[in-house]
Amino acid sequence: METIDLEKIAHGSFVTDEETIFTVWAPHAKAVHVFGSFNDWNEDSHPLEAVENGCWSAFIPEAKIGDEYKYCITTADDQKLHKNDPYARILTNSSGNSIIYKDLFDWQGVEFKMPPMNQLKIYEMHIGTYHRTDENGPGTFASAIEKLDHLKNMGINCVEIMPVNEFAGDWSWGYNPAFPYAIESAYGGPDGFKNFVKACHERGIGVILDVVYNHFGPSDLDLWQFDGWSENGKGGIYFYNDWKSTTPWGDTRPDYGRNEVRQYIHDNAMMWLDEYRCDGLRMDMVPYIRNVYGDESEGNNIEEGFSLLRWINDEIHERWPEKITIAEDLHGNNFITDGTDVGGCAFSAQWDADFVHPVRAILTNGRDEDIDMQAVVDSLSKVYSNDAFRRVIYTESHDEVANGQARITTEVDDQNPHSYYAVRKSVLGMVLTLTAAGMPMLFQGQEMLEDQWFDDQDPLDWELAEKNSGIIQMVSDLCHLRESEKYPGLFGAHTKFILVDQEKKILGIQRSHLEDLSEGVMIFYNFSSGTYENYSIFPDTPLVAECIFNSSQEAYHAELTPQLDGFYFEQQEDNGSYSITTHFNPLSAKLFSYKHN
């Protein structure tokens, strides 16, 4: 056998100009062979050599790109296990074979720069259901590309993709990763994903990928007892083998304290940003990485999980300062986004439960008198790590419109989700999201008033895009206002509350990029079903203003047609005070651009 050069070892099947090198970590194996289509699936003909740190490796000249293969691992008690490559980039399917792959993708011709966080407008997408062209299979990267111009035209500049790891079967949300390094074959494999990222970048759209490191599997999981060793009947070398293995998804929590597993997860995170040129990562359910039970209970913290998160985030920020990481933590802790220098996890931002939960409760409340305006104030004023843009704000996500919950339209009126109040409340939720301080996120179909709860086998109804083109135009108007240099207040960090009318349920804020608030936008929201004529608002200082957005426009939707419209400004001669007098239609919002005189 040819002598192994340890410096050439890369885990998995690594294709050089002349040969293929196979390397696999199996510290408890008695022997390891690789077999596949290149040797007629003879499990004894190509042994790997034991090298260092429990790895096995060999040069196999016969193995070529596109060949299928597996490892045959002889355990300490002489069992033979047939296992797929933990580092495989592509498989025939989750219960099939690994495929030798080499990155030959052509990225030329695309230059993309991720927008700053205060100008991001995120769209959460599930590849399998966003746009489906084959009624017998899920949507693919190719079919999703066909509808990217819809997002570009709407002003979306970042998509957050639900997990695309190879999972069991062809239908899934993606949160059951069977092979963390492989791209789901039913979606189009690694080159399909690269084509998708490239197509996004060509349209000025960044790509954030959802990754799952709090558990693996639990089904079609070749990592389970990979080399035959385990303790307590648990998962073996890739997993905790004691009480720390417990998760809501089975005993499949990776062992964050084992160096090889830490490296496996770390390298996976870097792969998405390097090989696939993603612009960021969103980590699923971070509480279960830092705590056994996903809560704040003492004695259950996983310190090695904390340190792994810090390692990954610090390296990403150092290597790619423009790329971002987002945590789904939902506990409202500053340490999630605080820097590692002060003991934090160094995520760029986190999903904000303190926005989505109170706002959805208010929008789906059927009684005006039960609306607490202070809850709205609190949801709009939340900041993490002293930065308004360290949070992702939303009213719909894959979690919020499934698991017993539904789209806001359906929550408001399950008999007629396109009724007057259902439409107005859904629209008000989108307006609030797209005008508040934070990184706004819409869930796929929200902009076209999709009324079905999220199901991984139920694609978006694209006929609704035509029926509700006015709502899409409204979202587009807000998205383009949010990045307009003419109205920088909409991506400014400073928010001041200038009106909180608990009786009429009207809220007014100023948002500005300037600390003294001398220039920016004023936004007024009517959370009630009431119509208010000649409502006067008294800013602190004289200003000039123009109305730049009104959600009650017939052009947006028939159910938004205003009963009243118009506004005027007046300066009182006797005391010099200044007022804006306008009309408020039910469940509506208006934006004014201003500069102080």
Residues of the chain above pLDDT 90, percent: 86
Pairing of strands 578-584, 158-161: unpaired
Q: Which residues of the chain form CATH 2.60.40.10?
A: 6-83
Distance, in Å, from the CA atom of 533 to the CA atom of 565, rounded to the nearest integer, reads: 9
**Residue 394 in tokens:** 């939303």
Non-local CB neighbours of 325 within 8 Å, separated by 6+ positions: 280, 281, 282, 283, 312, 313, 316, 346, 347, 348, 349
For residue 156, which of 203, 211, 208 has the smallest C-alpha distance? 203
3-state secondary structure of 524: strand
- Write down the residue that tokens 């159910």 correspond to: 559
Residue 155 in contact with residue 491, Cβ under 8 Å? no
3-state secondary structure of 543: strand
pLDDT score for 346: 98
Residue 317 in contact with residue 346, Cβ under 8 Å? yes
Residue 30 in contact with residue 106, Cβ under 8 Å? no
**Residue 424 in tokens:** 């107005």
Distance, in Å, from the CA atom of 70 to the CA atom of 61, rounded to the nearest integer, reads: 16
pLDDT score for 205: 98
For 135, other C-beta atoms within 10 Å of its C-beta total 6
State in words which class domain 376-405+416-440+457-597 has. Answer: mainly beta
Encode burial over 450-465: b for 16+ CB neighbours within 10 A, e otherwise: bbbbbebeebbeeebb
- Write down the residue that tokens 């290149």 correspond to: 38
pLDDT score for 10: 64
Hey, what CATH topology would domain 6-83 get? Immunoglobulin-like (2.60.40)
Type of residue found at 157? N
Encode burial over 313-325: b for 16+ CB neighbours within 10 A, e otherwise: beebbeebeebbb
DSSP per residue over 126-143, as a string?
A: -HHHHS---TTS---HHH
For residue 522, which of 534, 504, 538, 533 has the smallest C-alpha distance? 538
For residue 326, which of 441, 410, 245 has the smallest C-alpha distance? 441
pLDDT confidence of 4, banded at 50, 70, 90?
Answer: very low
Pairing of strands 588-596, 519-526: antiparallel
Round the CA-based radius of gyration of the chain to a whole number and report it. Answer: 27
Hey, what CATH topology would domain 120-351 get? TIM Barrel (3.20.20)
pLDDT tens across 349-368, in order?
Answer: 999 999 999 999 999 998 99
Q: Which residues of the chain form CATH 2.60.40.1180?
A: 376-405+416-440+457-597
For residue 446, which of 356, 329, 372, 352 has the smallest C-alpha distance? 356
pLDDT score for 593: 92
Bridge partners, residue 509, by sequence = 497, 523
Provide mean pLDDT across the span 182-203. 98
Non-local CB neighbours of 233 within 8 Å, separated by 6+ positions: none
pLDDT tens across 252-292, in order?
Answer: 999 999 999 999 999 999 999 999 999 999 999 999 999 99
Q: Which residues of the chain form CATH 3.20.20.80?
A: 120-351
pLDDT score for 565: 65
End-to-end CA gap in the chain: 83
- Residue of 296 and 240 predicted with greater confidence: 240
Residue 512 in contact with residue 492, Cβ under 8 Å? yes
pLDDT tens across 497-522, in order?
Answer: 999 999 999 999 999 999 999 999 99
For 488, other C-beta atoms within 10 Å of its C-beta total 18
Alpha-carbon dihedral sign for residues 47, 51, 54, 56? negative
Residue 6 has pLDDT above 50, yes or no: no
- Mean pLDDT taken over the chain: 93
Residue 78 in contact with residue 63, Cβ under 8 Å? no
Q: What's this model's pTM, rounded to 2 decimal places?
A: 0.96
Distance, in Å, from the CA atom of 405 to the CA atom of 396, rounded to the nearest integer, reads: 10
Distance, in Å, from the CA atom of 484 to the CA atom of 204, rounded to the nearest integer, reads: 15
pLDDT tens across 121-153, in order?
Answer: 999 999 999 999 999 999 999 999 999 999 999
Torsion angle, alpha carbons of 19, 21, 22, 23, to 10: 180
Phi and psi torsions of 566, nearest 5°: 105, 160
